Amino acid sequence: MLLQLTAAQGPNECALAVTKAAQRLQQEAEAAGVAVEIVESQAGEIAGTWQSLLLALNGAAAAELAERWSGSLLRICASPLRPQHRRKNWFFGGRCFAPPPPALQSEIRFETLRASGPGGQHVNTTASAVRATHVASGISVKVQSGRSQHANRRLAIALIGQRLQEQADARTGAQRAQRRQAHYGVDRGNPRRVFRGAAFVPD
């Protein structure tokens, strides 16, 4: 299951809310037996914050957890970045992507390669990284975050499924508008979940 958390075009306080949300989600995931992995990220302007996170959720309760974090989300607290600021409502958004259909794997060509970057001896001696290409569309992703080739293949399939879903969303005007709203705008009312204070405690 893939879940995107985004501050959209909100101010730095919204990016901070995304960061706090990721920490809270990790706690909820551990309690539910769900593994969480950062797949893609966009850093916020303030060090240590995230403007956007794409998370992979793996476990029996992954779909239920992702659904709880989908939609318009709201953090209510005084700005920790601008103490004199009157605004206390900081909106951000979540969107979950359905798991790819089982048949998708048969449409993908896989290549294995050595992982690059930090990781010590394990990275240098195992061909655990995977490059996956969806033959029909040409969509290609490289995944090396997992320790095993099997985990990286599974994540690559999910990422290609997400890219294909994004393409399908863009084919019609209504779906394109929905996708634009998910990425670039967050509904400023009717929040799905509300969190309060510096401790980011859910209502």
Q: Let me know if residue 124 belongs to a domain.
A: yes
Domain ranges, residue 70: 2-99+186-196
Query: What digits encode the pLDDT tens for the residues 119-142?
Result: 544 444 567 889 999 999 999 999
Is residue 95 located within the same domain as residue 155?
A: no
Non-local (6+) Cβ contacts of 147 within 8 A are: 122, 128
Is residue 191 located within the same domain as residue 158?
A: no
Q: Residue 200: left if φ>0, alpha if ψ -120 to 50, beta else—which one? A: left
Is residue 95 located within the same domain as residue 6?
A: yes
pLDDT (0 to 100) of residue 124:
44
Is residue 190 located within the same domain as residue 111?
A: no
Q: What would the mean pLDDT of 104-116 be, rounded to a whole number?
A: 85
Is residue 75 located within the same domain as residue 113?
A: no
pLDDT (0 to 100) of residue 112:
86
Non-local (6+) Cβ contacts of 67 within 8 A are: 96
pTM exceeds 0.85: no
pLDDT (0 to 100) of residue 114:
77
- The structural domain count of the chain equals 2
